[in-house]
A and B are shown apart, each in its own frame.
Chain A
Amino acid sequence: MPHWQPHRTASRPLGAWESTAAHQRAILLGAAGAVSAVVARRPDLLVIVTPLVVAAVWGHLTRPRVEVTGTARLGDTTLREGSVTGLYVRTTPALPDLHGVVTVARVPWVERKPSSGIAELDDGSAAIGLRSTRWGRRRIGTVSIALVSSWGAFRVGPVDLPDLDCATLPVPASFDASAPTPHPRGIVGLNRSNRPGSGSEFNTIRQFHPGDRLRRIHWPVSMRTGTLHVTSTFTDEDAHVFLLVDCFSDLGPREGIDGRPTSLDVTVRAAGAISEHFLRSNDRLTLRTVGAAEVPTLGVGSGTNHLRRVLDTLAAIAPATERRDTGERAIRGVDPMALCLVLSPLVEPTMVTLAHTLAARGMTVVVVDTFPDHLVLDPKSVHQALAWRIRLLGREADVHSLRLRGVPVVPWHGPGSLDHVLRDIARRASAPRMARR
C-alpha cells in the first residue's frame, strides 16, 4: 500500500480579473444619467450621477493587471482529537486596496473558527482556526479565495484551492493496570518474571557468589552469620501484547470527541489507551485490524515511537471497508506467548470466531467488550428496541460461548478494566492447561 502523505500546502493562480455587476452598474447608470442630463437639460441629474461616473473611472483605473496566486498552508497535519490548528492563506503579490475573502467549506468533524468559515484577507493574508473533533484521516474543507479591487469593480474567484488533508490521532482513554502482564520473557521490561536475576522485585537472601554486586550485600544477615549474604531479585522482563481491533462495526451516531462515542470510537480510544500503557512499560506490542481496508501492517515494537506508529495506524482505520476479511491474515504469525487482547463490540461474528481460534491455539486471550451502553438505553422506536433486543440476545450467546471456552470478556471501563482478569491469568499461568496443537 502506498504510504499516505498529508497535503500541507496548496497553491493555485486565481485567474483573470473580470468586471463585476457593481462596475457595470456604475458605468451604465453614469453614462445613461449623463446622456439624459444633456439631452433633457437636467443639470441636477448630472450632479446625482457624478459619483457613479467617478466610481466607474476610479475602478477602471485601479484595475489590477497582475495575476494573483493563492496559497493555503496548514499549521499542523497531525492533530489529536479536539486540538486546534491554523489554516494560513496568503495571496501573492499583495496588492493595495484589494478586498479579499477566504472561505473554508464545512466538512464533518472539522470545526471552523470563525464558525462561518469565512475570513477577510488583511494585507493579503488571513488565518482560520480548525478543530478536528474525531480521529481519522480526512480532508479539511475546500479553501476558496475571492478578491475584488477598489469599488468592487473587478473580481477574481472564488477559486477553489487543491484539497488539504490531515491525520487526527485518537485521544487515548485513560487506562492503567496494576496487574502484571502474563508470560514476560524479554529483557527490558518492567514485569516481574519467575527467573532470578537483576531486577527490583525481592526474591530471597542467599550467600554471596563471585559476580554479585557489592551494593546487594545484606549486612545485617552477613554480620549475624559471619559470611557474606546478598539480596537476590527476580529479573524484570517485557511481555508481548497483541491487540486485535474490530473495524467491522461503527455503531451509534458519530458525534466526535464532544459527543457520545460510537463503538469504533470506544474501540480505537481503548486500543490507544492500552497501547500507551503497555508501551510505556517497555512491553512489546503488535496491532492488527480486521475489517478495514488499506490499514498498514504494523510490526512488533516498543517505546514511544512505536506508540506514535500505533496511533497513526488507528487513525488510518476506515470502518467496514473490507467486509470479506476473515481475520486469518491478522492472526497469522502471532507470538504464542503473547497476551492477546481482542477489542470488539462483539456484534460481528467474525471477531467471536477469531477469539475462539486464538484461544484454541492455547494463547492467552482476553476480549475487551467495547459496546457503548448508550446505544440501547434510549431506542427511538419500538422496532429499534426490538431489533436491539434480538441482537443483544445473540451477543449474549456469543459472550457465553467465549466464557465457556475460558476466554474472559471484560467490558471497557477505562482504568483498572483489565486488572482483575490479568491477575487471574497470571495465577492461572502457573497451573497446567490443555491446548489443541
Chain B
Amino acid sequence: MLPPPGESADHELHPVRRTVHFGAGPEWSLSQLGATAAAMAGVLVYLGSLSRAAGGFDPVWWSLVLLPLLTMLWAGSAAPLLYWGLLLYGWFTLTAAGSFSWWSLPAAAGCAVGHAATALSASSPPGGSFTARTGRRWLRHTAIAFLSAVPVALLAGLLTGRSGAVSAAAYVVGLLGVSVAVWLMRTNPPAERD
C-alpha cells in the first residue's frame, strides 16, 4: 500500500526492534535496557569517585550499583529520588567537611548520566525504543549539564583553603540554589502582566 499523500515513504520502514522478557514480566526493548545500563554505569562511576574521595568504604555498598536495575520498572516513580538521595548522603557522611576532592567531578558526571538515563527510561514504556536521534539529543544535553559542573569545580578548587572566601562564595552559591529551587517549586505562578 502506498502511504497517503504528504506522508514519507520512510514511515513504512520499521527496523527490527528486539525485545527481552524476564520471566512473566513485560517485554523490554534493548533501548530501555541500554538506558538502565547507563543509569547503572552512572551509579558505578559515582561510587568509584566516592571510594577514591573518601579513601574507601565497606564493599557491601557497591551493591548499590544494582539499584537502577532493580527499580527499572519504576523509573518514573520516586524510587530513583530515594536511591540518589542515599548516594548523595553517602558522599555527605564519608567525606570530611570543608575539604574538596577533584573526584567530585566524575561523580557529577555519574550523577548527570544516572539522572538523564532514568528520565529517558521513564519517558517510554518498557517495550519502547529510542531512535538514534533521540539518544544523541539526550547525550548532548547530558554533556552540557556535566560541563556546567566544571567551572563550579574549578571555582571550588581555587577557593579551597581560603576559609573566608570559600564561605562567602559557598553562601552566595547556596542562596542562589535555594532561590532557584523555590522558584521552580512554585505550583501556581501568578499571571503575567500584559
Chain A residues near B (Cβ < 8 Å): 20-22, 24-58, 60, 73, 75-76, 83-86, 88, 97, 99, 101, 103, 113-120, 122, 125-127, 129, 146, 148, 150-153, 155
Distance of A42 Cα from B146 Cα, bound (Å): 19
- B92 contacts A151, CB within 8 Å? no
Option from A44, A49, A75 in Cβ contact (under 8 Å) with B95: A44
User: Which residues of B are found within 8 Å of A115, using beta-carbon distances?
Assistant: 17, 19
User: Which residues of A are found within 8 Å of B118, using beta-carbon distances?
Assistant: 22, 25
- B88 contacts A29, CB within 8 Å? yes
Option from B81, B100, B129, B141 in Cβ contact (under 8 Å) with A44: B100
Distance of A56 Cα from B171 Cα, bound (Å): 20
Option from B76, B104, B184 in Cβ contact (under 8 Å) with A48: B104
- Interface residue B3 (Cβ < 8 Å from any Cβ of A): yes
- B149 contacts A50, CB within 8 Å? yes
- Interface residue B128 (Cβ < 8 Å from any Cβ of A): yes
- A47 contacts B149, CB within 8 Å? yes
Interface size on B, residues (CB 8 A): 81
Taken residue by residue from 108 to 143, chain B's Cβ proximity to chain A (1 for < 8 Å, 0 otherwise) reads as: 110110011011101111011111011001000110
- B128 contacts A118, CB within 8 Å? yes
- B91 contacts A43, CB within 8 Å? no
Distance of A20 Cα from B134 Cα, bound (Å): 19
- B108 contacts A48, CB within 8 Å? yes
- B101 contacts A38, CB within 8 Å? no
User: Which residues of A are found within 8 Å of B112, using beta-carbon distances?
Assistant: 51-52, 55
A47 and B104 contact, Cβ closer than 8 Å, known pairs A120-B124, A129-B12: yes
Distance of A86 Cα from B9 Cα, bound (Å): 11
Distance of A346 Cα from B155 Cα, bound (Å): 89
Interface centre among B104, B107, B109, B175 (most CB of A within 10 A): B104
- B122 contacts A21, CB within 8 Å? yes
Option from A34, A51, A146 in Cβ contact (under 8 Å) with B115: A51
Interface centre among A30, A54, A73, A153 (most CB of B within 10 A): A54
- B173 contacts A46, CB within 8 Å? yes
A54 and B97 contact, Cβ closer than 8 Å, known pairs A31-B178, A44-B156, A97-B137: no
- A122 contacts B133, CB within 8 Å? yes
- B14 contacts A129, CB within 8 Å? yes
Distance of A73 Cα from B5 Cα, bound (Å): 12
User: Which residues of B are found within 8 Å of A21, using beta-carbon distances?
Assistant: 76-78, 80-81, 122
User: Which residues of A are found within 8 Å of B101, using beta-carbon distances?
Assistant: 44
Distance to closest chain A CB from B3 (angstroms): 6
Chain B residues near A (Cβ < 8 Å): 1, 3-4, 7, 11-12, 14, 17, 19, 27, 29, 46, 53, 76-78, 80-81, 84-85, 88, 91-92, 95, 97-101, 103-105, 107-109, 111-112, 115-116, 118-120, 122-125, 127-131, 133-134, 137, 141-142, 144-146, 148-149, 152-153, 156, 159-160, 166-167, 170-171, 173-178, 180-182, 184-185
Option from B88, B130, B144, B185 in Cβ contact (under 8 Å) with A27: B185
Distance of A404 Cα from B177 Cα, bound (Å): 96
- B99 contacts A56, CB within 8 Å? no
Of all chain A residues, the one with the shortest Cβ separation from B124 is A101
- A43 contacts B119, CB within 8 Å? no
Can you sample 17 A-B contacts with CB below 8 Å?
A: A35-B178, A42-B95, A44-B103, A45-B104, A46-B152, A48-B91, A48-B107, A50-B149, A51-B111, A51-B112, A52-B115, A54-B145, A56-B181, A75-B1, A75-B4, A151-B116, A155-B123
Distance to closest chain B CB from A96 (angstroms): 10
- B111 contacts A57, CB within 8 Å? no
- B88 contacts A88, CB within 8 Å? no
Option from A24, A73, A85, A120 in Cβ contact (under 8 Å) with B128: A120
Option from B11, B81, B170, B181 in Cβ contact (under 8 Å) with A127: B11
Distance of A42 Cα from B156 Cα, bound (Å): 10
- A127 contacts B128, CB within 8 Å? no
Of all chain A residues, the one with the shortest Cβ separation from B80 is A25
User: Which residues of A are found within 8 Å of B4, using beta-carbon distances?
Assistant: 73, 75, 86, 88
User: Which residues of A are found within 8 Å of B53, using beta-carbon distances?
Assistant: 44
Of all chain B residues, the one with the shortest Cβ separation from A151 is B119
A43 and B14 contact, Cβ closer than 8 Å, known pairs A21-B122, A49-B111, A51-B115: no
- B177 contacts A35, CB within 8 Å? yes
User: Which residues of B are found within 8 Å of A57, using beta-carbon distances?
Assistant: 180, 184
Interface centre among B78, B128, B131, B171 (most CB of A within 10 A): B128
Distance to closest chain A CB from B71 (angstroms): 12
- B177 contacts A53, CB within 8 Å? yes
- A118 contacts B127, CB within 8 Å? yes
- A125 contacts B11, CB within 8 Å? yes
Of all chain A residues, the one with the shortest Cβ separation from B156 is A43
